[in-house]
């Protein structure tokens, strides 16, 4: 695993955007799995700007959804579906036939999981998985205690996730379950990039970098990834920002 430390969130996001662009340059039909959440938001803005200004072509690339809140419709601005559409798919002009997201309203969520796993297999695997880290160390909705041997699955959300997750919604939500790619997808992706910024992530990042690898901290498995990268800003490492010089 490679750790890269950036001075600030902007630098981190710029490098994460460049990472995505370098992959689509090497492989125009690459398969991307991009997380939602606050951490990669600026990455997607910079990615869209760069794609527009430099004419980077994403039309042959494929996009896989990492996770979704069970029971939340895609029209809800707090859903992962809505987020990805607004922040990634619309700005990059991705055709719907190249987008595969979980239907978290399905009456048969097991089928959703199986069909997602099959889609990923048929596409030849995920080239880049870009993830954030939850306050409890989750990746997607792989909550503490989850086996690293699982592919897509439905999971009861940890209390931390249920509480922190409220920040994405305009109204109070009941967030009991999630549907998610598994850590097995994460470990099998050709490149895994974890991004974390800000002081509030310092505690969990320290644990992810230092603790013994175990199922209690799902994000820690990035240290087992053959091509795992962790991008943090100095605040997420618990370092103070240098004073600005006048
Ligand atoms: C959320 C999502 C994850 C996300 C993580 C961190 O609950 N399920 O995919 O990466 O938590 O979110 P944030 O970047 O907002 O801190």
**pLDDT at res. 242:** 57
| Average pLDDT over the chain, rounded to an integer | 96
Residue closest via CA to ligand 1's atom 5 equals: 134
Residue 66 beta carbon below 6 angstroms from any ligand 1 atom: yes
Which whole-number Å values give the CA distances from 1 to 55, 71, 93, 146, in the listed order?
31, 35, 32, 21
pLDDT-derived band at 246, boundaries 50, 70, 90: very low
Residue closest via CA to ligand 1's atom 6 equals: 134
pLDDT of 43 strictly over 50: yes
| Averaged pLDDT for residues 94-115 | 98
Q: Which atom of ligand 1 is nearest to the CA of 167?
A: 15
Q: Which of 141, 74, 71, 156 is nearest to 106 (CA)?
A: 71
Domains delineated in the chain: 2-237 (3.40.50.1360)
pLDDT-derived band at 104, boundaries 50, 70, 90: very high
Q: What percent of the chain has pLDDT over 70?
A: 97
**12-22 as b/e: b if 16+ CB within 10 A:** bbbbbbebbbe
Which of 9, 84, 134 has the most ligand 1 atoms within 8 A of CB, as the residue to mutate? 134
pLDDT of 243 strictly over 90: no
| Averaged pLDDT for residues 63-92 | 98
**69-108 as b/e: b if 16+ CB within 10 A:** bbbbebebebbbbbbbbebbbebbebeeebbbbbbbeeee
Residue closest via CA to ligand 1's atom 2 equals: 140
- Tens of pLDDT along 4-31? 999 999 999 999 999 999 999 999 999 9
Q: Which of 183, 197, 198 is nearest to 228 (CA)?
A: 183
pLDDT of 188 strictly over 80: yes
pLDDT of 125 strictly over 90: yes
Q: Which atom of ligand 1 is nearest to the CA of 164?
A: 7
- Residue of 112, 127, 143, 158 with catalytic role: 143
Which of 43, 132, 146 has the most ligand 1 atoms within 8 A of CB, as the residue to mutate? 132
**pLDDT at res. 239:** 84
């Amino acid at each position: 695993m490679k750790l890269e430390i950036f001075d600030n969130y902007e630098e981190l996001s710029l490098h994460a955007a460049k990472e995505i662009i370098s992959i689509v340059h090497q492989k125009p039909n690459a398969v991307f799995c991009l997380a939602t959440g606050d951490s990669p938001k600026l990455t997607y803005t910079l990615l869209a700007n760069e794609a527009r200004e430099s004419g980077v072509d994403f039309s042959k690339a494929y996009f896989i959804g990492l996770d979704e809140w069970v029971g939340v419709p895609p029209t809800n601005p707090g859903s992962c579906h809505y987020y990805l559409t607004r922040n990634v798919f619309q700005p990059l002009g991705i055709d719907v036939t190249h987008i595969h997201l979980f239907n978290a309203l399905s009456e048969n969520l097991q089928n959703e999981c199986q069909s997602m796993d099959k889609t990923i297999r048929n596409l030849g695997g995920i080239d880049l998985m870009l993830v954030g880290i939850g306050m409890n160390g989750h990746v997607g909705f792989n909550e503490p205690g989850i086996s690293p041997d699982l592919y897509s699955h439905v999971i009861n959300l940890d209390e931390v996730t249920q509480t922190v997750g409220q920040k994405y919604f305009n109204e109070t939500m009941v967030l009991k379950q999630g549907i998610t790619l598994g850590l097995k997808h994460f470990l099998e992706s050709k490149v895994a990039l974890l991004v974390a910024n800000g002081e509030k992530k310092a505690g969990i990042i320290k644990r992810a970098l230092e603790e013994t690898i175990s199922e209690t901290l799902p994000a820690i498995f990035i240290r087992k990834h053959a091509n795992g990268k962790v991008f943090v800003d100095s605040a997420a490492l618990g370092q103070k920002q240098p004073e600005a010089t006048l």
